[in-house]
Amino acid sequence: MSKPTLRVIARLVAFPDKVAELKSLLLSIIEPTRQEAGCIKYELMQNQADPTDFTFVEEWESTALLEQHLGSTHIQAAVQQLDGLAVAPPDICCYELLA
């Protein structure tokens, strides 16, 4: 039996006049994140009905490796730039795959 992984959904909502800027910032963290230890999947989606709504779908080998990701230089730098771009801090939820 394989070791269970951690699934993460992280959602951010841009101010309507800051969609392009937030999108650019979020796109900039994808490649560095995909190179991190423990990153299995890291995808960014934009809601077709509401372009202010961005969602990351992630899969990590463990909670410890996700925590390393959240503390990484590129993520911390991105978080510092969210003020004025996103209406609220990221909504991050962690899940266990049941079936």
Looking at the domain assignment, is residue 1 inside a domain?
A: no
Task: Compute the distance between CA of residue 30 and CA of residue 52 in angstroms, rounded to an integer.
Answer: 18
What is the average per-residue pLDDT within 52-73? 97
26 found inside a domain = yes
| Complete edge-to-edge strand list for the sheet that includes strand 91-96 | 39-46, 53-60, 6-13, 91-96
Query: Across all residues in the chain, what is the average pLDDT?
Result: 96
Is a pLDDT exceeding 90 seen at residue 62? Answer: yes
Give the side-chain half-sphere CA count within 13 A for 36.
28
Query: Can you give the pLDDT at residue 29?
Result: 98
CATH code, domain with 16: 3.30.70.100
The candidate with the shortest Cα–Cα distance to 7, out of 48, 56, 75, is 56
Give the three-class secondary structure for 47.
coil
Instruction: Tell me the per-residue pLDDT of 34-57, one tens digit each, with 9 for 90 and over.
Output: 999 999 999 999 999 999 999 999
- Map residue 31 onto helix, strand or coil: helix
When divided into structural domains, the chain yields a total of 1
Q: Is residue 20 part of a domain?
A: yes
pLDDT at 2 over 90: no
Residue 56's domain spans which residues?
Answer: 6-96
Percent share of the chain, pLDDT over 90 = 93
